[in-house]
């Protein structure tokens, strides 16, 4: 086990494309850190630099106390699980798991013991003599995990290991990987494009976009205190509602314009967000999570309300996701949710998560309640959150 | 389908029918689908186990031409096996390097190598002959095998295409597991490529077995002549007025037997490989 330090890690490909730009991050011993971001954000490249599969163009990598920037992959004391399993198809499960031990010239009896023990942890004992072709996707993934675990490395690296599994198996394997990582206590870097996976598995989540680390923090902090528009739009499902707005600060409170409607914030809001004073009368980006938007009929505690036209209702059983038109355009964040919206022409949609008891109907004009204490404000030019 | 089958099989049947007939009866003009004056002396004669009386009986005269079938068979087997082992091994290593290893000018070198496909073998015959002669390898296994022992552009191209299709992640996994290039190649890539390597081996073996011109030029000594050349020499020794068709057909059939066995055993693979190569 070991700490991992990424110091200004940069990858520039021949031709000048910068895949990862000056990424700095300290990962504690035994910590589970998830790199998340949309396709092409540099998360896999960053992981591969840690693995030694990509040369580091600039910056430094330290694992434990050792500088690993130019060390050969096999000497970094790391193990990696790949997206496509990368099993050796001509070897049985037993030999696949034992392969790194064989190369490390571990004694036969110890090798057998470690393979058996690993197989038990991963519930693979009955499949040890099968070849990968005779296994299901989940079993193959567990064999790949086994090959990583059996080495007892200082660091686990996992590159989208669940993306080839079906939804149900993915949920199961998610908890399995978390359990195994917790049991073994090995420092782990996990790459995924699935923000639900990232939020549920990581002790901390590092959000990347365009090769730049946007924010790294605990999942709950990312969700409640996004550092910029990209993180706000990327983290959370459904994504945060982001729209252009202006504020005006008066003696009684802060007025936030949402299209031709407005909501009032108490002046005490400025105590937590003093920088907002500098934006009086200026355009900015306002955000609120769908969880903080209610059917007014079911939320008597929230006094700030606006009118909305119901465009679409997604009944999920326990709740209803309402697509609403409040007369404002969503702000593009570059995240996947923005891409998904392109297909349905829901550029004006403002999402709310209503309780299952809601009687909202498609086409109806209704009143929605906003928890104004949960509003986020971002600088329109830089995209950074306006806070302190 | 039946017609195609008949057309394909008929030459073999006709060779067998002729090989089992006596020359005398063949020249009598009887046109039968079955052997005329059935005898297995021709095969015995080719194998060198027939007595002078038996030769006289089946040939109707004294033996005018002969070759040591078993010796030529041995030469063919040694040459084909050595060429196959060498060519497949070296081609696989070269193909892996072209597919996966990063070195300066790799793609240009591969293109140059591939352009060798456009050079007709006859162009290299004389330079190779001079080289082999200067090396003192005429009438030797080395001389017959050398030009084919390393790689051919086709074999390298064939395997490179397959290696390119192998997931790079498998190799990266091996690298992280602690394997170097050498171990990754022999421990992971080669076993994973068993099917294309077998296909290439079959193709190479058949090509080497059927090679005629090069051994004809470098192996004047009958003891170093493979079956293709020995059969040619045998034909040349026959009098123009009454060639020994029966002996020739018996020898041809025996010479083709190993290839027929390969076809029967690995028919599907051979067809696939011919389909892949598109050049046979």
Under a CB-based contact definition with an 8 Å cutoff, are residues A388 and A331 in contact? no
Q: Does B109 touch chain A (CB under 8 A)?
A: no
Polymer length of chain B: 280
Under a CB-based contact definition with an 8 Å cutoff, are residues A290 and A241 in contact? yes
Confidence of residue B12 (pLDDT cuts 50, 70, 90): confident
- Tell me how far CA of residue A114 lies from CA of A93, A124, A128, A299, in angstroms: 13, 13, 13, 57
Chain A residues in contact with chain B using a Cβ-Cβ cutoff of 8 Å: 51-53, 73-74, 78-80, 82-84, 86-90, 99-100, 103-104, 147, 151
Q: Which of B29, B33, B55, B34 is nearest to B44 (CA)?
A: B55
For chain A, which ranges sit under pLDDT 50? 336-346
Cβ-Cβ contacts under 8 Å, B183 against chain A:
103
HEC string of chain B equals CHHHHHHHHHHHHHHHHHHCCCHHHHHCCCCCCCCCCCCCHHHHHHHCCCCHHHHHHHHCCCCCCCCCHHHHHHHHHHHHHHHHHHHHHHHHHHHHHHHHCCCCCHHHHHHHHHHHHHCCHHHHHHHHHHHHHHCCCCCCHHHHHHHHHCCCHHHHHHHHHHHHHCCHHHHHHHHHHCCCHHHHHHHHHHHHCHHHHHHHHHHHHHHHHHCCHHHHHHCCCHHHCCHHHHHHHHHHCCCCCCCCHHHHHHHHHHHHHHHHHHHHHHHHHHHHHHHHHCCC
Long-range contact set of residues A251-260: C-beta below 8 Å, sequence gap at least 24: A256/A286, A256/A372, A256/A375, A258/A286, A258/A306, A258/A326, A258/A327, A258/A328, A259/A326, A259/A327, A259/A328, A260/A327
Where is A46: in which H helix or E strand? helix A43-51
Q: Which of B101, B175, B187 is nearest to A73 (CA)?
A: B175
Structure tokens at A147: 């090959």
B240 & B210 share domain: no
Q: Does B271 touch chain A (CB under 8 A)?
A: no
**Helix or strand or coil: residue A380?**
coil
B206 & B241 share domain: no
B50 & B114 share domain: no
Mean pLDDT, rounded, for B44-59: 68
Structure tokens at A62: 């330290």
Structure tokens at A14: 């021949």
Across the interface, whether the CB atoms of A82 and B183 are under 8 A apart is answered no
B55 & B138 share domain: no
| CA distance, residue A137 to nearest chain B CA (Å) | 16
Across the interface, whether the CB atoms of A86 and B191 are under 8 A apart is answered no
Across the interface, whether the CB atoms of A104 and B167 are under 8 A apart is answered no
Across the interface, whether the CB atoms of B167 and A103 are under 8 A apart is answered no
B201 & B118 share domain: yes
Chain segment B261-270, per-residue pLDDT in tens = 877 887 776 6
Torsion of CA A302, A303, A307, A313, to 10 degrees: 10
B214 & B259 share domain: no
Query: Closest chain A residue to B176 measured between Cα atoms?
Result: A74
What local confidence, expressed as pLDDT, does residue A343 receive? 44
Q: Does B190 touch chain A (CB under 8 A)?
A: no
What local confidence, expressed as pLDDT, does residue B58 receive? 60
CB atoms within 10 A of CB B132: 21
- Residue B212 domain-assigned? yes
Interface test with A, best of B171, B177, B186 (most A CBs within 10 A): B177
What local confidence, expressed as pLDDT, does residue B276 receive? 56
Number of domains in chain B: 2
Q: Which domain range does residue B94 map to?
A: 85-218
B97 & B202 share domain: yes
What local confidence, expressed as pLDDT, does residue B18 receive? 81
Polymer length of chain A: 388
What local confidence, expressed as pLDDT, does residue A8 receive? 96
What local confidence, expressed as pLDDT, does residue B260 receive? 82
Query: Closest chain A residue to B170 measured between Cα atoms?
Result: A86
Q: Does B195 touch chain A (CB under 8 A)?
A: no
Determine the Cα–Cα distance for residues A372 and A63; give it in Å rounded to an integer. Answer: 44
Q: Which of B218, B208, B214, B224 is nearest to B258 (CA)?
A: B208
Q: Does B167 touch chain A (CB under 8 A)?
A: yes
- Residue B224 domain-assigned? no
Is the pLDDT assigned to residue B152 strictly greater than 50? yes
Q: Which residue has the higher pLDDT, A144 or B251?
A: A144
What local confidence, expressed as pLDDT, does residue B255 receive? 81
What local confidence, expressed as pLDDT, does residue A228 receive? 94
Across the interface, whether the CB atoms of A103 and B179 are under 8 A apart is answered yes
- Tell me how far CA of residue B4 lies from CA of A73, B1, B273, in angstroms: 58, 5, 21
Is the pLDDT assigned to residue B63 strictly greater than 70? no
B153 & B204 share domain: yes
Under a CB-based contact definition with an 8 Å cutoff, are residues A171 and A201 in contact? no
B205 & B89 share domain: yes
Is the pLDDT assigned to residue B10 strictly greater than 70? yes
Q: Give the range with max mean pLDDT: A361-365, B44-48, B113-117.
A: A361-365
Q: Which residue has the higher pLDDT, B244 or B62?
A: B244
- Residue B72 domain-assigned? no
| End-to-end C-alpha distance for chain B, whole angstroms | 22
Q: Which of A79, A86, A90 sits opposite B167 (nearest CB)?
A: A86
Q: Which of B178, B172, B96 is nearest to A54 (CA)?
A: B172
What local confidence, expressed as pLDDT, does residue B272 receive? 66
Query: Closest chain B residue to A53 measured between Cα atoms?
Result: B172
Q: Does B8 touch chain A (CB under 8 A)?
A: no
Name B244's Cβ contacts closer than 8 Å, sequence gap at least 6.
B23, B59, B64, B65, B234, B238
Determine the Cα–Cα distance for residues A377 and A243; give it in Å rounded to an integer. Answer: 10
Q: Does B176 touch chain A (CB under 8 A)?
A: yes
B214 & B241 share domain: no
Is the pLDDT assigned to residue B23 strictly greater than 80? no
CATH number at residue B214: 1.10.3720.10
Query: Closest chain A residue to B168 measured between Cα atoms?
Result: A86
Determine the Cα–Cα distance for residues A200 and A69; give it in Å rounded to an integer. Answer: 31
Cβ-Cβ contacts under 8 Å, B172 against chain A:
51, 53, 73, 80, 82, 86
| CA distance, residue A53 to nearest chain B CA (Å) | 7
Whether pTM > 0.90 for this model: the answer is no
Structure tokens at A242: 């982001």
DSSP A239: P
**Helix or strand or coil: residue A352?**
strand
Under a CB-based contact definition with an 8 Å cutoff, are residues A364 and A253 in contact? no
Structure tokens at B34: 């079955």
Determine the Cα–Cα distance for residues B254 and B15; give it in Å rounded to an integer. Answer: 10
Strand partners, A257: A246, A262
Across the interface, whether the CB atoms of B173 and A89 are under 8 A apart is answered no
Chain segment B131-147, per-residue pLDDT in tens = 999 999 999 999 999 99
Cβ-Cβ contacts under 8 Å, B181 against chain A:
none
B140 & B37 share domain: no
Cβ-Cβ contacts under 8 Å, A84 against chain B:
167, 169
Q: ipTM above 0.95?
A: no
Under a CB-based contact definition with an 8 Å cutoff, are residues B274 and B206 in contact? no
Cβ-Cβ contacts under 8 Å, A52 against chain B:
176
What local confidence, expressed as pLDDT, does residue A387 receive? 81
- Residue B74 domain-assigned? no
Confidence of residue B84 (pLDDT cuts 50, 70, 90): very high
Interface test with B, best of A82, A150, A153, A163 (most B CBs within 10 A): A82
Strand partners, A295: A368
Residue B193 C-alpha from the chain's centroid: 22
Interface test with A, best of B107, B173, B185, B192 (most A CBs within 10 A): B173
What local confidence, expressed as pLDDT, does residue A159 receive? 94
Interface test with A, best of B178, B196, B197 (most A CBs within 10 A): B178
Determine the Cα–Cα distance for residues A362 and A310; give it in Å rounded to an integer. Answer: 5
B36 & B161 share domain: no
Is the pLDDT assigned to residue B39 strictly greater than 80? no
Cβ-Cβ contacts under 8 Å, A88 against chain B:
170, 173-174, 188, 191-192
- Residue B226 domain-assigned? no
- Tell me how far CA of residue A232 lies from CA of A36, A226, A351, B169, B259, in angstroms: 13, 5, 14, 33, 70
Angle (CA) A254 A257 A258, round 5°: 135
Determine the Cα–Cα distance for residues A320 and A194; give it in Å rounded to an integer. Answer: 22
Query: Closest chain A residue to B166 measured between Cα atoms?
Result: A86
- Tell me how far CA of residue B255 lies from CA of A355, B34, B41, B201, B207, in angstroms: 85, 22, 17, 19, 14
Chain segment A248-258, per-residue pLDDT in tens = 998 888 999 98
Q: What is the pLDDT of chain B when averaged over all its residues? A: 83
Q: Which of B172, B177, B194 sits opposite A53 (nearest CB)?
A: B172
């Amino acid at each position: 086990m070991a700490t991992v330090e990424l110091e200004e890690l940069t990858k520039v490909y021949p031709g000048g494309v910068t895949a990862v730009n000056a990424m700095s991050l300290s990962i504690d011993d035994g910590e589970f850190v998830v790199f998340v971001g949309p396709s092409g954000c540099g998360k896999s490249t960053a992981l591969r630099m840690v693995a030694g599969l990509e040369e580091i163009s600039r910056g430094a990598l330290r694992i434990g106390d050792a500088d690993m920037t130019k060390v050969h992959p096999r000497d970094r004391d790391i193990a990696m699980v790949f997206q496509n399993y990368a099993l050796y198809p001509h070897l049985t499960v037993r030999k696949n798991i034992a392969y790194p031990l064989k190369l490390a010239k571990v004694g036969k009896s110890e090798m057998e013991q470690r393979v058996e023990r690993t197989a038990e942890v991963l519930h693979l004992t009955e499949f040890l003599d099968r070849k990968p072709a005779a296994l299901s996707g989940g079993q193959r993934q567990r064999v790949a995990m086994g090959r990583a675990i059996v080495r007892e490395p200082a660091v686990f690296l996992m590159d989208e290991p669940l993306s080839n599994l079906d939804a149900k198996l993915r949920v199961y394997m998610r908890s399995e990987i978390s359990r195994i990582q917790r049991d073994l206590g090995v420092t782990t870097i996990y790459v995924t494009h699935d923000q639900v996976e990232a939020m549920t598995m990581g002790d901390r989540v590092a959000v990347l976009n365009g090769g730049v680390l946007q924010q790294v923090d605990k999942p709950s902090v990312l969700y409640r205190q996004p550092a910029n528009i990209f993180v706000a739009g990327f983290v959370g499902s459904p994504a945060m509602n982001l729209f252009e707005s202006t504020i005006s600060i008066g003696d009684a409170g802060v007025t936030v314009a949402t299209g031709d409607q407005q909501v009032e914030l108490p002046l005490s809001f400025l105590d937590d967000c003093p920088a907002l004073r500098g934006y009086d009368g200026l355009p900015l980006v306002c955000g609120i999570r769908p969880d903080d938007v209610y059917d007014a009929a079911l939320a008597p505690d929230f006094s700030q309300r606006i009118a909305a036209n119901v465009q679409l209702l997604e009944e999920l059983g326990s709740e209803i996701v309402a697509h609403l038109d409040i007369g404002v355009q969503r702000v593009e964040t570059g995240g996947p949710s923005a891409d998904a919206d392109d297909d349905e022409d829901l550029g004006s949609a403002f999402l709310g998560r209503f309780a299952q008891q809601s009687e909202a109907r498609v086409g109806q004009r209704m009143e929605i309640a906003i928890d104004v204490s949960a509003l986020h404000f971002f600088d329109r030019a830089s995209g950074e959150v306006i806070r302190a | 389908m039946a017609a195609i089958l008949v057309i394909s099989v008929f030459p073999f049947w006709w060779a067998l029918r002729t090989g089992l007939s006596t020359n005398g009866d063949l020249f009598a003009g009887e046109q039968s689908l079955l052997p005329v004056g059935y005898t297995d002396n021709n095969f015995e004669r080719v194998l060198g186990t027939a007595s002078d009386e038996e030769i006289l009986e089946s040939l109707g005269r004294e033996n005018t031409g002969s070759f040591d079938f078993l010796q030529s068979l041995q030469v063919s087997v040694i040459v084909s096996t050595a060429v196959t082992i060498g060519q497949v091994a070296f081609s696989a290593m070269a193909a892996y390097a072209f597919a996966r290893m990063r070195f300066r000018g790799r793609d240009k070198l591969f293109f140059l190598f591939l352009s060798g496909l456009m050079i007709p073998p006859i162009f290299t015959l004389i330079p190779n002959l001079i080289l082999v002669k200067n090396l003192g390898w005429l009438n030797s296994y080395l001389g017959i095998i050398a030009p084919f022992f390393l790689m051919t552009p086709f074999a390298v191209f064939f395997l490179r295409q397959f290696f390119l299709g192998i997931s790079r992640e498998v190799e990266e996994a091996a690298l992280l597991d602690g394997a170097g290039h050498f171990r990754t190649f022999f421990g992971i890539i080669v076993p994973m490529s068993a099917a294309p390597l077998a296909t290439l081996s079959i193709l190479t073996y058949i090509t080497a077995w059927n090679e005629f011109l090069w051994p004809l030029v470098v192996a004047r000594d009958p003891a170093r002549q493979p079956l293709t050349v020995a059969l040619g020499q045998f034909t040349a020794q026959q009098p123009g007025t009454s060639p020994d068709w029966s002996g020739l057909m018996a020898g041809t059939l025996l010479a083709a037997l190993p290839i027929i066995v390969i076809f029967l055993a690995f028919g599907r693979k051979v067809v696939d490989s011919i389909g892949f190569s598109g050049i046979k």
